[in-house]
Structure 1
Amino acid sequence: MTDYLDLNRANWDDRAVAHTASPDYQVSRFADDPQFLSEVVRFDQPRLGDVAGLRGVHLQCHIGTDTLSLARLGATMTGLDFSGASLASARSLAASAGAAVDFVESDVYSARSALTGEFDLVYTGIGALCWLPDIKRWARTVASLLAPGGRLFVREGHPVLWSLDYERTDGLLSITEPYFETTEPQVYDEASTYVATEHVFTHTVTHEWNHGIGEIVTAVLEAGLVLTGLEEHQSVPWNAITGRMQHIGDGEYQLTDRPARLPHSYTLQATRPAV
């Protein structure tokens, strides 16, 4: 099998350029408005609660808009990502906003050796877990990063959403991709991305994996964490099914026809026991 890290890293290096320039990421707003937060973190805020004073790490932080937003809420943040191009944009973003955010280049599974100390908050955002082949290894990594009493916070696209046939035009929701984790990846070749851009991509092939909700919860529990919340949502922060979703405000999209049929995304929270 082609090394998925090299393949996917090249794709995300390519995306970093497009995403930084895209109006959808609103990069310029962070420098212009010291109170501005990403739409993703604004959605998360009621569930995150007060993060002021917490030492946090954002795994798979990409260009850092959510990482910076968490720092603006008072957390001392570190962002970790395997894409050097993404981190270059993230560091530029933080500098333009005058924020003291550290960024570390590493793949997720190497995070424990790449980072120093333990964290009160491990944050993982939308579109992250599908790039990882082994959800149990991810959960063990998260557990190794958390301080006693520390919290994992994940908002992610729902595995049912990831498993749909996006090419259908008859209005039906059809599951054609794996819902459960598989040994071999799903291989995609797509010359576009999820934001508005005119960028021409040169690295278009990716290797991805789905993970069922039960697999994710089990992995978290087996890693020694205590599940404290699992909430499914009827919206997702990107236009996941082109032509079949409507923007409902605050960067969230929802299936236009009978959205209650589909779990769009979910929030999972868990803690490391204090003793």
Structure 2
Amino acid sequence: MSTSDYLAANEANWDDRAPLHAARDGSGYGVDRYIDDPAALSEVVKFDRPLLGDIAGLTAVHLQCHIGTDTISLARLGATVTGLDFSAESVAEARKLAADTGDAVEFVRSDVHRALDVLPAAAFDLVYTGVGALCWLPRITDWAAVVAGLLAPGGTLHLREAHPILWAMDESVTTDLALRYPYFEQVDPLEWDDAETYVESSTPLTATKTYEWNHSLGEIVTALIESGLRIEALVEHQSVPWEALPGQMTLGDDGEWRLTERAGVAPLSYTLRAVKTA
């Protein structure tokens, strides 16, 4: 298979997930709360706020935004936000949700690699990327170039992502931490075949095959520096917003999952902030 075949399979999978994640029956992402409460924020954005800082008045783009819950949350913090995603179904659900909540958010369909074909260059004060985005990208250098191209001089990238050491762990081992998969970026992706998504849903997926690539922390940092960004902060966290290692984690009141017996042994996610130099 070619890289385009891998990405097409991933797109079909996310098209399949989107309506399940956007269900109005309390399953999926529980999107009703954003409609019922105009001040509601996603747990991800709540976690990000201390390092995200005051974004009121900023022009922001949320890359790989999926159904827009984090995008809408950023808008509720005062930013003018555009969400971008390659999945047509995700963008459709995001637009529907924003219409139902009344939040003024624009959503654009595009592969993140072609973001500069549909969005203005050097026009954004903030590029935001959330957890579970980078693993779908074959080459981290290509992504870093897009981020640099979108940011205005002095603009900031805010990235929170699952730690590459977590992506290298075998989640099927439920009794201890076990490294199994590549930590460093590989040409060929890992192939998965799974009819379930990562949140409660009522229907199994039909487009079950996905392809993922890991990227080491060093590869990510170096790619951003080489694209003209200056790293301002790199904070590793002992939590992640889903049960990444079933049977070995405890859910906290903040919606974050942490290791139960092996707390502190490994980082599970990280936040990176970088600024585009003039």
TM-score range, shorter chain: over 0.9
Where do 5+ consecutive residues of structure 1 fail to align? none
How many angstroms does 1:142 deviate by?
Answer: 0.3
Q: Distance in 1 between matches of 2:60 and 2:111?
A: 17
Equivalenced residues, count:
273
- After superposition, the Cα gap between the structure-2 partners of 1:24 and 1:235, relative to the gap in structure 1 and judged at 3 Å, is farther
Q: In the alignment, what sits opposite 1:116?
A: 120
Partner of 1:20: 22
- Give the aligned partner of residue 232 of structure 2: 228
Separation (CA, whole Å) in 2 of partners of 1:49 and 1:23: 31
Distance in 2 (alpha carbons) for counterparts of 1:186 and 1:267? 24
Give RMSD over aligned pairs.
Answer: 1.0
Query: Which aligned pairs between 1:203-214 and structure 2 lie closer than 5 A?
Result: 203-214=207-218
Residue 152 of structure 2: aligned partner: 147
Q: Percent identity?
A: 59
Written as runs of structure 1 = structure 2, the 5 A alignment for 1:75-114 is 75-114=79-118
Give 1:20's aligned amino acid.
A
* 2:11 aligned partner: 9
Residue type at the aligned position of 2:169? L
Distance of 1:192 and 1:26 partners within structure 2: 17
Distance (Å, rounded) in 1 between the aligned partners of 2:42 and 2:173: 31
Is 1:167 the counterpart of 2:172 in the alignment? yes
CA distance in 1, matches of 2:36, 2:173: 41
TM-score, length basis structure 2: 0.96
Q: Post-superposition shift, 1:175? A: 0.8
- 1:1-33 deviations in whole A, cap 9, x for unaligned? 141221000000011011112535121011111
The Cα offsets for residues 95-149 of structure 1, whole Å up to 9 and x where unpaired, read as 1111111100000100011112410000000000000000011001100000011
Provide closer, same or farther for how the CA distance between residues 11 and 24 of structure 1 changes in structure 2, counting only shifts above 3 A: closer
* Structure 1: distance between partners of 2:207 and 2:61: 28
Indicate if the aligned counterparts of 2:197 and 2:205 stay in contact, CA closer than 8 A: no
The match for 1:65 among 47, 62, 69 is: 69
Q: For residue 199 of structure 1, report the CA deviation from its aligned partner.
A: 1.3
Q: Is 2:56–2:78's contact at 8 Å kept on the other side of the alignment?
A: yes
> 1: CA distance between counterparts of 2:272 and 2:154?
16
How does the TM-score come out when normalised to structure 1?
Answer: 0.97
Alignment check: 8 A CA contact 2:59 2:79 kept: yes
Contact 2:176 2:248 in 1 (8 A): no
- What residue identity is the alignment partner of 1:210? N
Q: 1:105 and 1:11 mapped to 2: Cα distance?
A: 16
Moved over 4 A (4+): none
State whether residues 61 and 82 of structure 2, in contact with CA within 8 Å, keep that contact through their aligned partners in structure 1: yes
What is the deviation of 1:37? 0.4
Contact between 2:124 and 2:151, CA under 8 Å: does it hold in 1? yes
Aligned partners of 1:232 and 1:259: how far apart in 2? 13
Distance 1:197 1:17 in 2: 10
Return 53-62 or 255-264, whichever deviates more: 255-264
Indicate conservation of the 8 Å contact 2:225/2:231, yes or no: yes
- Is it true that 1:248 corresponds to 2:265 in the alignment? no
**One of 179, 186, 198 as aligned partner of 2:183:** 179
Indicate the residue corresponding to 2:193 in structure 1.
189
Q: Deviations over 1:240-270 (max 9, x none)?
A: 1112111012210011112101211000000
Q: Do structure 1's residue 132 and structure 2's residue 137 form an aligned pair?
A: yes
Query: Which residue in 1 is equivalent to 2:41?
Result: 37
**Residue ranges of structure 2 left out of the alignment (5+ in a row):** none
Question: Secondary structure at the residue paired with 1:218?
Answer: helix
1:199 maps to a residue whose letter is T
